[in-house]
Structure 1
Amino acid sequence: MFRLVLKQTMAHRGRLLLTFAAITLGVTFVVGTLVLTDTSRAVFDDQFRDASTEVDIVLRDAVAFDAAMGVEVERDPLDPQLTSRTAALPGVGRAIPVVKGTGLLISDGKAIVPAGPSMLTSWTGLDGFTLRDGQAPAGADEVVIDAATATAHDITLGDTVRVQADREVDLRVVGLVGFGDADGLPDTTVALTSLTTAQRLLRLGDGISQIDVIAADGTATSELTEDLRATLGTDVDVAASQDTAAASAAAAKSQLGFITGALLALAGAALVIGAFLIANTFSVLVTHRTRELAVLRAAGATGRQVMASILGEATVLGMAGAAAGTGAGLLAATGLRALLDAAGATVPDGPTVLSARTLLVALAVGVVVTLLAAFGAARRAARISPVMAMREGALGTTGGRGRVRAVFGTVLMALGVAALGVGGAIESMPALGAGTAALVAGLVALAPIVAPAAVHHIGGALSAVTGRGVPTGLAREGARRAPRRTGATVMALALSLALVVFVSVVGASVRGALQSGFDEAITAEIVVESARGEMLGGLEPATRERIQDLDEVGTVSRLRFGHWKDSGVTRALTALDPATIGDVTDVDMVEGRLSDLGDGVIITERQAAERGVGVGDNLAMTFARTDTLEVPIVGLIDDDDAKALSTDYLVSLASYRDWFTERMDATLLVRPASGTSVPEAQKAVEKALTGMPTVEVRDQASAAEARTASLDGILTLITAVLMLTVLIAMLGITNTVALSIIERTRELGLVRAVGMTRRQLRTMIRTESLLIAIAGLLLGTTVGIATSALFVRAIAQGGDLHLQVPTTGLALVAAVALLVGVISGLAPARRAGRLEVLTAIREQ
């Protein structure tokens, strides 16, 4: 049986080529995603593990939680006296004070802005950094940088670089370091200075960030950890260095979770669409090989053995596609990283990691998807009667209009429409998701009924427009006679286009809402932000200090962001200055006033309704620095205006200083002084901020546009990836039309014999391909727009978010679909045109 399967597969390898390509593309996407994330995770693990290679225990200020949304929380400085206290404790070999923070490197007047962090830390010689050249920093004017940065920017020993932190200072490079075996950390610049220099740059006074502890000889780390916890109390976090490194790595890796999930979901869509192609291929092959399979049955093969032979071919094909997809996936990981970089979601690079799990997933995906897609054809093959098959010579592919399929599809469609209606009415995402899934499943079930009818009517319209009645009529008839094949091909294209349309419409609607909400609520004419897009903001306090006293500036109001825990769920908040926020915004308060914020919290009207609370009630908020506090609700803000301020929770800057250690501003909203024009004020602000390369000064329009920059990048990434599904759908049309030629060889020979020219035959085949593409376009666009409209309503949650249909983008989608139809029919039409009449007529 195994040899038979191999011979059958090799005998039909030409017909399986496009199916193999579809499997390969789907597996490539899955493998590329897993390799990309595994490589990035390994980089994080190595980075944080190596950072504490010689350190046994790390002491830091205690916090309620370590990280939120992939960002480690900042901690208060430790009392420097704790170092000597710790060093004197039994079992402690050494206690080394450490200062850590952010320090941008500037060389030859140009800022070195990496994709990742700009690290500033005090020299210990124990944190994974090893000298490659020069000496450790000792003097107040000395710095050591990583060798990777030095090589990339032509910095050598003795050069002077500027380090920009809370203060700026010019330092002389006295050494170059590596990190483990590498020349530096991925996508990171590193500046190491003496302890006092780091304290001065970060304005810590004599405070320290942490204490690295090395256990005395003969002392177990676990025992010393417990002793230190008992001695130092709950105000100090005592953790083994490997636990600290693991927590830091987990925080960094958590940001990859969304990326991995999104990419795998898109890969799943590609595989589902590819499954239609596979199902079509095996259905047509079984039909064409009816006589061959009948001979096997007549020779004694059971139906189960015939079915096993077909599934065996599918297994071989799936394994071959998985192997090819794995190889291509290693290359695709690089392409995905480039797409993510373009979308603003940088992931670290490192040695490629191809895990055993990835290989198993690739094999399972390739084989399982292929087997499931081929199962229907295999089951039909098992039912072939030797006598009937030998007599009729063909099984036919005109089936698929069964009563059970029609009832099942109608029920699913009805359930889907009902769930979508309910979900749209109550603005429920789960209901909309379930409704969409049921609708799509119903359409798939009804595809052999709906798609041929759609192609027939479209063909009639096309015939009336073009005047080519005979070729178009024969193309319509060809599609109608193979409803299952036509239905699967139309659905593959329709689903891929529906996804593209859905993403385009939802993206355009959210983009429009973000921009209009910002324009309406933010009245500040100038906005100062970090160009690096840090989650919690990247403006040093010195940024505000440089511009607040300018004659051209009237009001400067700060915004800061922070994370807090809400019954274990991480949420974000915005801190603002109640005294100045009214000068730069125009927000609608449902109850209370921004100026009365004080030590309370203002929440959105929707949050108040969901929680069943109002002004005068308390909201339990857990902060890393203070643990859980009962914060009074002092006001309710309009939902849409809150979006302009980025979160559903607003607190004062005074409260922020009490609850958070972070001191970075996220945004400065600037209003020019009376009598000063906006261009004059903006020019003055830009001049004052010269030398701060990561600061971006924007007018209101540019700031509103910037609000959607990250969204635009994500949408571009998703759309680019979704075009892979369109490519697979195109392969499906090509494959279907090509296999239909094999199936209809005698028919094509007969129409040529009665006078059809080669040109007319080619036109007929191309028209059939085009009709399938138009049907897929119309169905996909309809489903995409209808579902996106409901999802936009749910996203709005009663707010001011209106459906926006990007006509230019959808026109481009339509053009792509029509181009797909034209291109998909070229190769099959050329092959059909080459058929010899007598040879074709003799085909059975």
Structure 2
Amino acid sequence: MFRTALRNVLAHKARLMMTVLAVMLGVSFVVGTLVFTNTLSNALQNSSAKGFDHVDVAVTAEAQESKGNQLARTPELTDELLERSAEVPGAASAIGVVQGFTAIADKDGDLVGGGFQSQGGNYWGTKDERYPLVDGHAPKGENQVLIDSETAKRTGYKVGDTVRLSIDGPVLKPTVVGIFTTDDGNVAAGGSLALFDTATAQKLFGKAGTYDEIDVRAAAGTSEDQLKAALDKALPKDKVETITGGELADDQAEMISSSMSGLKQGMLVFAGISLFVGTFIIANTFTMLVAQRTKELALLRAVGASRRQVTRSVLIEAFVVGAVAGTAGLLAGIGIGAGLRSLMGALDATVPDGPLVISSGTVATALGVGVVITMLAAWLPGRRAAKIPPVAAMSSLHAQATTKSLVLRNTLGALFSAAGVAVVLAATGMDGSSGQAPMGIGAVLLIIGVFILTPLLSRPLIAAATPVMRIFGVSGKLARQNSVRNPRRTAATASALMIGLTLITGMTVMAGSLQQGIDKMASSALRADYVVSMANGNYLSTDVDRTLRELDGVTATSPLRNAPSRIGGETEYLTGVDGSSITQLTELPVDSGAFEVGGGKVVVDDETAKSKGWRAGSTFTVHYEDGKSDKLTVAGVYEGNEMIRGIMIDNRTLTPHLEEPADMQVMVKTADGTSEATKDRLEKALGNNPAIAVQDKKDISNEIAQMFTLILNMVYGLLAMAVIVAVLGVINTLAMSVFERSQEIGMLRAVGLDRKGIKRMVRLESLVISLFGGVLGLGLGVFFGWAAGELLAAKMPTYELILPWTRMGVFLLLAAVVGVLAALWPARRAARLNMLAAIKSE
């Protein structure tokens, strides 16, 4: 039986090639994902570990907890603690580290790095081993700065140049006095690093006389653990905590691995979809191969082969195919992983140098997935073939599915579909977070149910195309009949395309509806013409509001000032606003009371009011950052949204209690409204600062929706793999259908149907099957898009279902193109059949 199975594999090379290709594509995507993410993670971890080479023990401030009505106050790392750390037995040196956001503009005025990766810090002196100088000298004073060599290379800055940079809003113009090298992970990932002398860094980052961290080097002969023990003994335990350089590197590696896991899981989901689609093709292929060899298998049964041996022979074929596909997928996946890393470099997403990581787990996964998926898909056809009695197989009585099996299949499909719809509908009535899992379960049940019902659905849906098919005469009529002749095969082929289009359509419906909801939210909640904020989300200097307030043409401004407080023993954040102008800048529906902010009067969003049991007229005591308290009155309750929510208090009441006031953003109303000229005037007044974003309502909407657009584009690209696999499935089905109907095609040629008619018949059959899968995919996609939107609508009142008819038309056209392209080779093969040889074939 083993030799028989191997001969069958070799005897059907062309037919099995499509199956190998389908499995290979899915496996290569899995392997490419693992290779790429492992390589990137390994490179980042190695680069990060180098950054801790000069740290044996790090001393940081001990995190404090808020107690009662007192806010936690983080202890400061002072010069006294720095000196005590340096004098600990076993310590060779101690460096005080100051760091914070520092945006550098290139020579064109654009922000260097990725915003969050634009960092600044202090240079300790000529013996600072962390940042070896390659040119220039150490900085001294506010007008001198060092920049890293990678930033210098990207921007063209050199020693002596003036560079424009910003810490929290106002533009500084120091001179580059030196360039240094660094193993800093942010720089390796494409960010930038600027260094000042310690006193300047402390002043710029608002940490006068204090440090963010103290890095201690061990003397020769002292281990990290020994130094840590000595520091723990010498320093106050209630103010600081210590951690070794090795632990820092391990924590950083774990954080990098954790951050990479999301990317890896997302890519593996789409790889799984490709494999899932490929499973249909494999099952379809083996079903047809087994059907074509029914008499051969019956003869084996007649001469003594058992059912188990017949099933085993089919599984052996599947094993060989899976092993070959897994090996090919492994090699292709390694190429994909290397290609993705090169692509990131081409897109200016800097990746640290490092070897391509091909782990034993990746190799085992490739072979395991290839073999297991193929054997699982082949098991049912093999088992079904083994159960056919030899006499029945030889007389072809087995060809038609029994009424009992069809009734069982349709009943099972109906139950799965009904359960899926019920669970999805139930999930739409839940809260956004609690409804996600039920909706996912319901979606899986519904897709399984529709897949099981697809043979039943194929007849009425394909029959709907009859009027169009008549236009093509005999070829059209034959194509329609052929497409419903074997509903199970048609269903398996169409389902592969259905799954891909379901996901694409669902995501498109959600993205379009979400964009519409965000646009409505921005236009309805904001009266301000512009919102000014830091490009990376950091706090703005209060100088920004003062500058804008004094600008000609600006009629109203209000900074949004975030501050922690304690209310009822819990930490709550207050949002400071300009009480006299906030109503000119926002338009928030008021549920009760009045939108009045000033003195001791505040307004509260509906969710906070509900959680606290407040309503208009309620009073509460707030404990500020400086320890003082005040009694406030809720003047009104407004409907919050994703852009504006929280407890709004007048800045004149809040600011005196803040040690370092800073704004999240500044809302601006101008006399001339929004225009390019007005925007340019605001940006110019702020020094054309690359770190500051001046945005109108449309800019805000686009920025919020940008993440979803990026995800959608990634989905389109990744699901292209599933569509390619679906194309292979259509080609495979048609090719085997042509082989199966060789005698019939020969007869059609003999009675007068020319080669063009044969080609047209096969192409129309492919087109009908593809459009059938496309219609099912669009229908399911719209349903899932609507259901997921209902979950979002609970959190976003402005959400509105938008059906992207144009894109949906493009998707249906794509399905048609898939059908036409997939039919090219099978149609040509059918037309080239020798009619006499075909008529004589069995």
TM-score bracket relative to the smaller structure: 0.7 to 0.9
The CA RMSD over aligned residues, in Å, is: 4.2
> How far off is 1:210 after superposition?
1.2
Aligned mate of 1:789, from 782, 786, 790 = 786
> How far off is 1:382 after superposition?
2.5
Q: Give yes or no for contact 1:602–1:634 (8 Å, CA) kept in 2.
A: yes
> How far off is 1:510 after superposition?
1.0
Name the structure 2 match of 1:40.
Answer: 40
Q: Structure 1 residues 420 and 106, CA, compared in 2 at 3 Å: closer, same or farther?
A: closer
1:278 maps to a residue whose letter is I
1:756 maps to a residue whose letter is L
> How far off is 1:83 after superposition?
0.7
- 1:142-187 deviations in Å (ceiling 9; x for gaps): 544333333333344555544433562423343431429x995221
1:590 maps to a residue whose letter is D
Aligned positions of 1:45-56 closer than 5 A: 45-56=45-56
> How far off is 1:827 after superposition?
1.6
Aligned mate of 1:817, from 815, 818, 825 = 815
Name the structure 1 match of 2:455.
Answer: 448
Aligned positions of 1:755-834 closer than 5 A: 755-797=752-794, 799-834=797-832
Q: Give yes or no for contact 1:399–1:484 (8 Å, CA) kept in 2.
A: no
Other structure's SS at 1:590 match: strand
> How far off is 1:591 after superposition?
4.7
> How far off is 1:460 after superposition?
1.8
Whether 2:496 is the aligned partner of 1:492: answer: yes
Name the structure 2 match of 1:693.
Answer: 690
> How far off is 1:96 after superposition?
1.3
Aligned mate of 2:408, from 401, 404, 416 = 404
Q: Structure 1 residues 247 and 398, CA, compared in 2 at 3 Å: closer, same or farther?
A: same
Whether 2:351 is the aligned partner of 1:329: answer: no
Separation of aligned partners in 2, 1:347 and 1:358: 25
- 1:570-620 deviations in Å (ceiling 9; x for gaps): x997844253533311112335666559999977545766x6854569999
Other structure's SS at 1:15 match: helix
Q: Structure 1 residues 183 and 607, CA, compared in 2 at 3 Å: closer, same or farther?
A: closer
Q: Give yes or no for contact 1:229–1:238 (8 Å, CA) kept in 2.
A: yes
Whether 2:262 is the aligned partner of 1:261: answer: no
Bigger Cα displacement from structure 2, 825-834 vs 207-216:
207-216
> How far off is 1:429 after superposition?
3.3
Q: Give yes or no for contact 2:597–2:649 (8 Å, CA) kept in 1.
A: no
2:495 maps to a residue whose letter is M
Whether 2:231 is the aligned partner of 1:228: answer: yes
Whether 2:584 is the aligned partner of 1:590: answer: no
Name the structure 2 match of 1:277.
Answer: 281
Bigger Cα displacement from structure 2, 802-811 vs 212-221:
212-221
Q: Give yes or no for contact 1:397–1:484 (8 Å, CA) kept in 2.
A: no
Bigger Cα displacement from structure 2, 333-342 vs 238-247:
333-342
Q: Give yes or no for contact 2:318–2:375 (8 Å, CA) kept in 1.
A: yes
Name the structure 2 match of 1:736.
Answer: 733
Bigger Cα displacement from structure 2, 394-403 vs 93-102:
394-403
2:224 maps to a residue whose letter is T
Aligned positions of 1:398-797 closer than 5 A: 401-426=405-430, 428-455=435-462, 457-464=463-470, 466=471, 468-530=472-534, 532=535, 534=536, 536-537=537-538, 539=540, 542-559=543-560, 575-577=575-577, 579=579, 580-591=581-592, 605=606, 613-614=613-614, 641-645=640-644, 665-672=663-670, 681-797=678-794
Other structure's SS at 2:641 match: helix
Separation of aligned partners in 2, 1:338 and 1:801: 39
Q: Structure 1 residues 126 and 497, CA, compared in 2 at 3 Å: closer, same or farther?
A: farther
- With structure 2 as the length reference, what TM-score do the two structures score? 0.86
Other structure's SS at 1:558 match: strand
- Percent identity between matched residues is 29
Name the structure 2 match of 1:375.
Answer: 379
Other structure's SS at 1:54 match: coil
Q: Give yes or no for contact 1:147–1:176 (8 Å, CA) kept in 2.
A: yes
Other structure's SS at 1:523 match: coil
- 1:446-475 deviations in Å (ceiling 9; x for gaps): 2222224422x13423234x2x34222222
> How far off is 1:501 after superposition?
1.0
1:267 maps to a residue whose letter is A
Q: Structure 1 residues 510 and 28, CA, compared in 2 at 3 Å: closer, same or farther?
A: same
Whether 2:241 is the aligned partner of 1:237: answer: yes
Q: Give yes or no for contact 2:6–2:317 (8 Å, CA) kept in 1.
A: yes
Other structure's SS at 1:518 match: helix
> How far off is 1:338 after superposition?
9.1
Q: Give yes or no for contact 2:64–2:73 (8 Å, CA) kept in 1.
A: no
Q: Structure 1 residues 178 and 707, CA, compared in 2 at 3 Å: closer, same or farther?
A: closer
Bigger Cα displacement from structure 2, 272-281 vs 416-425:
416-425
Q: Structure 1 residues 652 and 219, CA, compared in 2 at 3 Å: closer, same or farther?
A: farther
Q: Give yes or no for contact 1:186–1:349 (8 Å, CA) kept in 2.
A: yes
Separation of aligned partners in 1, 2:598 and 2:382: 69
> How far off is 1:715 after superposition?
1.5
Q: Structure 1 residues 79 and 309, CA, compared in 2 at 3 Å: closer, same or farther?
A: same
Q: Give yes or no for contact 1:56–1:215 (8 Å, CA) kept in 2.
A: yes
Q: What 5-or-longer segments of structure 1 have no aligned partner?
A: 66-72, 566-570
Separation of aligned partners in 1, 2:458 and 2:260: 40
1:814 maps to a residue whose letter is L
1:187 maps to a residue whose letter is G
Q: Give yes or no for contact 1:529–1:667 (8 Å, CA) kept in 2.
A: yes
Bigger Cα displacement from structure 2, 321-330 vs 271-280:
321-330
- With structure 1 as the length reference, what TM-score do the two structures score? 0.86
1:273 maps to a residue whose letter is V
> How far off is 1:135 after superposition?
6.0
Name the structure 2 match of 1:69.
Answer: none
Other structure's SS at 1:707 match: helix
Bigger Cα displacement from structure 2, 830-839 vs 188-197:
188-197
> How far off is 1:295 after superposition?
4.2
Q: Give yes or no for contact 1:19–1:278 (8 Å, CA) kept in 2.
A: yes
Q: Give yes or no for contact 2:47–2:352 (8 Å, CA) kept in 1.
A: no
Q: Give yes or no for contact 2:160–2:175 (8 Å, CA) kept in 1.
A: no
Q: What 5-or-longer segments of structure 2 have no aligned partner?
A: 66-71
1:737 maps to a residue whose letter is L
Q: Structure 1 residues 637 and 7, CA, compared in 2 at 3 Å: closer, same or farther?
A: farther
1:809 maps to a residue whose letter is R
Name the structure 2 match of 1:568.
Answer: none
Separation of aligned partners in 1, 2:598 and 2:366: 55
Q: Give yes or no for contact 1:104–1:113 (8 Å, CA) kept in 2.
A: yes
> How far off is 1:526 after superposition?
1.6
Q: Give yes or no for contact 2:160–2:177 (8 Å, CA) kept in 1.
A: yes
Other structure's SS at 2:58 match: strand
- 1:718-777 deviations in Å (ceiling 9; x for gaps): 122223222222221121111111112122222222222211111111111111112112
Q: Structure 1 residues 376 and 347, CA, compared in 2 at 3 Å: closer, same or farther?
A: farther
Bigger Cα displacement from structure 2, 685-694 vs 249-258:
249-258
Q: Structure 1 residues 547 and 638, CA, compared in 2 at 3 Å: closer, same or farther?
A: closer
The alignment covers a number of residue pairs equal to 817
Q: Structure 1 residues 82 and 743, CA, compared in 2 at 3 Å: closer, same or farther?
A: same
1:13 maps to a residue whose letter is K
Name the structure 2 match of 1:215.
Answer: 218
Name the structure 1 match of 2:68.
Answer: none
1:549 maps to a residue whose letter is E
> How far off is 1:346 after superposition?
6.6
2:80 maps to a residue whose letter is Q
Separation of aligned partners in 1, 2:654 and 2:542: 14
Name the structure 1 match of 2:69.
Answer: none
1:436 maps to a residue whose letter is A
Separation of aligned partners in 1, 2:342 and 2:647: 35
Bigger Cα displacement from structure 2, 481-490 vs 86-95:
86-95
Q: Give yes or no for contact 1:77–1:210 (8 Å, CA) kept in 2.
A: no
Bigger Cα displacement from structure 2, 776-785 vs 126-135:
126-135
1:366 maps to a residue whose letter is G
Other structure's SS at 1:172 match: strand
> How far off is 1:519 after superposition?
0.6
Other structure's SS at 2:358 match: coil
1:454 maps to a residue whose letter is L
Separation of aligned partners in 1, 2:386 and 2:548: 80
Name the structure 2 match of 1:70.
Answer: none
Q: Give yes or no for contact 1:104–1:119 (8 Å, CA) kept in 2.
A: yes
